[in-house]
Amino acid sequence: MTMPRNLVLVRHGQSEANVIQKRDKAGDQRLFTEETMLVADRSWRLTEDGVAQARTAGRWIRENIDSFDRCITSPFVRTRETAASLGIRGARWEENRVVRERSWGEISPLPRAVFEEQYSHNALLKRKDPLYWAPPAGESIADVAENRVRNLLSTLHRESSEQNVLVVSHGDFMWSTRLVLERWSDEQFLRYDKDPSMTIHNCSVVHYTRINPHTGVEESKIRWVRFAHPRCDPETGQWRMQVQDWKSFDRRYLTNEELLAQAEEQARILSR
């Protein structure tokens, strides 16, 4: 058994909640009303831009992969709507809770300023350690990676060898998948988390493959990844995909000396 020949992950398009969150980051909390704060996270629809993003991503996916043997979507409304809007020919969608949104627990419906005020210690932990930090009653990125992502990959390895698989999911699930599949160290994750070029935008596509994109030779492991996302031309209002080059990756093994050198990059906190 091997992993799928191609594994394509897609984040949902812009949702109504994304609009509220964007306004909140800009300091405008007016969209946080009693009505919106009582909406379950799974229930948000796409905006018109979100649908346009999904259609744009779908065209690019169809141009690059002829067909999919397996199509999986999160059961959230915004991912269902995105999956349908991709326009994948002959798709038979499986709903799978494993690929659902990361749980934000108690802080899910809260404006950022309210979170900072009511959960000040937890907010401090978030700034200190974004990989292992978990919101109250929620999940950390590490939790999603080691529990749900590994669950999905194990299933695909067992059931979808040699197939082309499409997964419509959420930003933090995709971020966690990159952490696992590309075997990032903790330090790499922290660097990438601050790198704007690594941002998983609405309807971003992460395409993994076992087929060498330069030679066409199929290998036994997923070794290559490329990243694309829709971008709206401000002059024409047209959505187009912005595509990054293929990158290769592999598991890295460390000697005792390399492990020690990494440890010694961190200064001791206590003096003798």
Q: Any catalytic annotation for residue 157?
A: no
Q: Is 13 annotated as a binding residue?
A: yes
What tokens were used for 241? 């995909």
Q: Is 96 annotated as a binding residue?
A: no
What tokens were used for 177? 């998948």
What tokens were used for 176? 């966690």
Any idea what DSSP says for residue 102? P
| 162 φ/ψ angles, rounded to the nearest 5 degrees | 70, 5
Quick count: other Cβ atoms within 10 Å of Cβ 240?
A: 13
Q: Is 94 annotated as a binding residue?
A: no
Q: Is 78 annotated as a binding residue?
A: yes
Q: Any catalytic annotation for residue 101?
A: yes
Pairing verdict, β 205-209 and 164-169: unpaired
Distance CA 73, CA 167 (A): 6
Q: Which of 35, 95, 101, 182 is catalytic?
A: 101
Q: Is 262 annotated as a binding residue?
A: no
Q: Is 15 annotated as a binding residue?
A: yes
Q: 16 vs 171, 200, 225, CA distance in Å?
A: 15, 17, 30
In this structure, the dihedral spanned by the alpha carbons of residues 172, 176, 178 and 180, taken in order and rounded to 10 degrees, is -170
* Residue at token pair 């404006």: 111
Q: Which of 12, 170, 207, 229 is catalytic?
A: 12
Pairing verdict, β 224-232 and 247-248: antiparallel
Q: Is 14 annotated as a binding residue?
A: yes
Beta-ladder partners of 71: 93, 166
Contact 75, 180 (CB under 8 A): no
Annotated catalytic sites, by residue?
12, 101
> Which residues are documented as binding site?
11-18, 78
> Which residues are documented as binding site for substrate?
11-18, 78
